Amino acid sequence: MRKIPVISSDMRLNEFIRAQCESFGSEFVPVFMTGRDEVTAFLKYDLPEIKIVNFSDTSVDSIGLLDEIRKDPWLYYGGIIAIHDNMEDKELQEAMRDQNVIAVIKKRDVERGFLRLLKILRQNKQILFQRGIQQHLIKNIAGSFVIDNDPLDITTYSNLVTNYLFNANLINKDTREKLHVALLELLINAIEHGNCRISYEEKTRWLERNGDIMDLIREKNKAADIRARKVYFTYTITPDWSRFIIRDEGTGFDWRARLAAKRDQPELHGMGMKMAQLYVSKLSYNDSGNEVSFEVEHQRNESNTIPAIFDLSREMTFQDGQYICSEGEESDYLYYIVSGTLYVYSKGKLMSALTPDDMFMGEMSFLLSNRRSATVISKGKSVLIRISKQDFVNLIRDNPHYGIFLARLLAQRLARLNLRMSRLNTEYLKVKGELDELRG
């Protein structure tokens, strides 16, 4: 069960959302609210992974809500579903910038697209819920989207992928923006030029008449054979890189000529492929031109966001081979890992390596007031934030919701440890059984 705050006072919209969520059983449970204090408390103590905000509702302080989220994106990493009447509002556009947006739906399109959106979220949990236990257990994530011949869903799919990679610290902000542009361009090309067979010249004529290209796509989709076509979007995410393949059901096009074309004057369209080529690596098409693949390299051992409560704490830089703490010494400090790799030794043996994915170092002995149980050495350059016991207590006193979140992190670590021990025990029993059979 996932509680989803729905920040809206529109009864008709709320009842529709409730009915759509109920069709999924107890998987999505909407909680309706409008008050700023009520919403802020829910975000702090429930840490929802999805938030639905009716930005058209004048009784909701939606801009203030976004400001609250921006204060600590490390904590409020959950995605936003934005419902609106008019996204041309400059203030709203600015407030939405850099937010973890999953989908943007015009209010008039909610009845047509909201159920599809929930299905997308349910089918792709592994790249939506970034702080779950699966991120630490599954090193490679692969999957595919089958996208209807309708641009309504494209932004959602693009956001799911780019937000996951950013929140998992696999790409930085600049790479996220470039990848998002490339995905949008190539996915819309697959629908527009691939499945709908809209030529460059036809699109030019349409745009010159100040037409909305989405209206032209809808016009094309009136034909049953075009409407039935799909776009296939496949992804593979490894620790070092992500690879994407987009394939449409069109007949293809002369991609070589399009990439080689040189234009002296700016035109209404036609730069999407070249932008994508600049923003991603290893971009290539199949011979017919109805499939494109490309890759994005990941950053290594870097954290994109830092908890807001640590903003005033001192960063410390450690060079390769430098000791951070030694086995047996008093545990006076907790460390938040900003970047780098830390080797953990016990009794002279290498036990594990910590990275920003682990978030903290030394929290168990720190919280239990024990001496350090291991020696930690920086492998290459590392950046840590050191928090003293007194500062930590003061921070939790002033921000009690952080205590709940940190307790959840520790519970997840224990769950991972228990699962690993269970797997090791299973492997041991399997090997033992095989040895017993050989001896018998």
In this structure, what CATH number is given to the domain that contains residue 25?
Answer: 3.40.50.2300
- Segment 158-167, tens digit of pLDDT: 988 998 898 8
Does 291 lie in the same domain as 143?
yes
Same domain for 111 and 128? no
Q: Mean pLDDT, the chain, as a whole number?
A: 84
Final residue before a domain boundary, out of 369, 390, 411: 390
Contact 229, 149 (CB under 8 A): yes
Q: Would you state the pLDDT for residue 363?
A: 76
User: Can you tell me the distance from the alpha carbon of 281 to that of 241, in angstroms, rounded to the nearest whole number?
Assistant: 10
For the cut 60, the answer to whether the pLDDT of residue 138 exceeds it is: no
Domain of residue 407 covers 399-440
Looking at residue 266, what is its pLDDT? 47
Confidence (pLDDT) at 1: 58
Domain boundary among 62, 90, 115: 115
Cβ 351 vs Cβ 374: under 8 Å = yes
The contacts found for 285-289 with CB under 8 angstroms, 24 or more apart, are 285/255, 286/252, 287/252, 288/251, 288/252, 289/252, 289/253, 289/254, 289/255
282 and 159: one domain? yes
333 DSSP β-pair partners: 388
Same domain? For 380 and 407 the reply is: no
Q: How far is CA 90 from CA 67, 96, 287, 383, in A?
A: 15, 10, 43, 38
Task: Provide, rounded to the nearest whole percent, the portion of the chain with pLDDT above 90.
Answer: 31
Q: Are residues 88 and 213 in the same domain?
A: no
Structure confidence at residue 277 (pLDDT): 85
Distance CA 198, CA 250 (A): 11
**pTM for the predicted model, two decimal places:** 0.78
> What does the pLDDT average to over 280-306?
91
149 and 268, same domain (yes or no): yes
Q: What is the CATH number of the domain that holds 342?
A: 2.60.120.10
Give 307 or 281, the one with higher predicted confidence: 281
Between 133 and 106, the higher pLDDT residue: 106
* Same domain flag for 376 and 415: no
For the stretch 345-361, pLDDT in tens is 998 899 888 888 778 88
Within 8 A by CB and 6+ apart from 206, the residues are: 213, 216
Task: Grade residue 172 by pLDDT with cuts at 50, 70 and 90.
Answer: very high
Instruction: Clarify whether residues 65 and 143 are in a common domain.
Output: no
Helix (H) or strand (E) holding 352: strand 349-354
Last residue of one domain, picked from the residues 92, 115, 138: 115
Rounded mean pLDDT, 244-267: 76
Q: What is the mean pLDDT of residues 405-433?
A: 74
Give the list of residues 6+ apart from residue 208 with CB closer than 8 angstroms, or none.
268
Q: Are residues 188 and 314 in the same domain?
A: no
User: For the chain, first and last CA: distance in Å?
Assistant: 49
- The reply to whether 236 and 334 lie within a common domain is no
Q: How many CA atoms lie within 13 A of 239 on its CB side?
A: 10
pLDDT at 403 over 60: yes
Question: How far is 258 from 289, CA to CA, in rounded Å?
Answer: 11
Report the pLDDT value the prediction gives residue 268, as an integer from 0 to 100. Answer: 43
Domain shared by 18 and 98, yes or no:
yes
Name the domain count of the chain: 4
Which CATH number belongs to the domain containing residue 275 in this structure? 3.30.565.10
Q: What is the pLDDT of residue 67?
A: 86
> Strands 281-285 and 101-106, how do they pair?
unpaired
Same domain, 20 and 103: yes
**CA dist 212 → 82, 108, 196 (Å):** 22, 17, 15
- Among residues 243, 236, 233, 242, the alpha carbon closest in space to that of 145 is found at 233
pLDDT at 129 over 80: no
Among 326, 342, 335, CA closest to 363: 335
